Structure 1
Amino acid sequence: MDIVVNEELKAYIDPLTPEEHDALERSILAEGCRDALVLWGNVLVDGHNRYGICTKHGLPFQTVQNTRFTSMEDVHLWMIDQHLGRRSISDFQRGVLALRKREIVAERRARSTPPPPPGIDAPMDAPAAPAPSPAPAPVSEQDALATREALAKAARLSSNQVVLIEKIQKQGAPELVAAVKAGVVSINAAAAVASLPAEEQAAAAAAGADELKQAAKRVREAKRRASAPVAEPVDEAPDADTPPAPPPTLAGLQQRVAELEAENASLRQELAALRAQRA
């Protein structure tokens, strides 16, 4: 049977690094291809790297058919579950795969939900009959992925990590996503950098790990400053225990004028005495 390599399926999961591919090749050359390749008809579903290595060196391999596949969505879900069960992938890859699975499940649920029946206009004086309430449908394991907690559990991550990975997927520039995939920057730092414009993300990723860390630090500091409470000016108010001063009376004003005139007369006398001494 001629095996067909579907390029879309081959690229659906992140490829092995050169080091990982070399290690797999050495293992197959030493021990042979121990795991069977999984096929859907004649389409290769799992084992692209093993198939390439065996073909390159003319080594034998086994195949097995998965008869449960009915659509490409079934194939994608199976591939995701297979890779989520492996320990060699990073936390970021786990989150990306779990988010893909959630999208597929959501699309299936939307297609399987029947539209509401078309309404029929009833006579104006006829009371509307209450619609019978449908029996609740059982929640499948895949439907449970709609919750963040279930999604995190499927990927063996925390809920917060799933949120950060989703932000990187939606807002991250390709250069930033490549950096977090390669382990150059942590998920937390990459999520912070993803808040920046795409040009700044790309520049930080091109500058390397240190610049990505500094960019994440600047973003966090800016958010802290923006969220810090601003002290509003408070008008000084008189002490509630101090009684307000009484308004001035006419007699009081006249007395104050007399006191000021007496002070002026005294000052004039002192000034005249000083002038006489100088003369």
Structure 2
Amino acid sequence: MHLIMLTTMVVIALVFSALGIHAEATSRETFNGITKTDLTFKDEPVLGGEHKYLVNKWTPQKSGVYTTYTMSKTGKLAFMKCMRYKDSYKRENRVYNRLAHSDVNLANRGLPSWAPTVFLERYAKFRSANGYGCIVLSTVPGGRDLFGYIKRYQFEHRQKYVMHVFRQLVVGLAYLDALRIAHNDIKPENVLVHQREDGPPYIKIFDFDLSYNLAGTSGVTISKCSTYGYCPPEIFSGALTGLVMLWKVDAWPLGVLMYAYITDALPIQINEGRTRGDPDDV
């Protein structure tokens, strides 16, 4: 039932997006909803000599976040994310704790047996020498985020696998809902894709530093947009409260993501440098 409800909401979001404002191609800065000027912390993470990971080059992401592909001294490839904000670090690890100790009954939820594999695996967590909270995650050789995948492959290729990608994303979000978790920042940059040579792509959902955990609570109120262009309109009207948030906060951006997957553009254009959303735009 939950899976059917989520799928229905995403389809509705896709229909409204397709019938709404026609989108033009956008730059990566606009597509992300952030600009390079948003980066606040200039000092890169310093791991210190006691850590066993070899870092090549840090990539600055949103404010206070750096990522890199790393290799342990044993030769195991991994993905490392270091966060300056304590709350972001706690939220990220809280989700991976829930994923690692899940008690979800997949059959009762109508979910396939592979539902738990739609996420990266956490290998380790630690504090850097200069105060960043770091987590080490699994990765896939030759993988790229969905934004890079959209840019790499032509429409014909993406169209061929659209339902395969869509189903994995819906199953992943339904699994998070079963854990009472809202991702709260679904967008192409937070989906890792591995394209096999002889078959459809596999996806992994990651980046949980803006997530909400409703386990043991009666609900929360979300009033801030995570990434402009992907936020549900209820955020701007102040109506996204309580348990209904679990569906709407992730279902709407999933519809936008699939629109972007198909068209290589966003259904709603956001002016660069904008600091607030306008309800009339959605």
| TM-score interval, smaller chain | under 0.3
More strand by share: 2
More helix by share: 1
The one of the two structures with greater contact order (alpha-carbon pairs below 8 A, sep at least 6) is: 2
Structure whose CA Rg is larger: 1
Q: Structure 1-normalised TM-score?
A: 0.25
Q: Structure 2-normalised TM-score?
A: 0.24
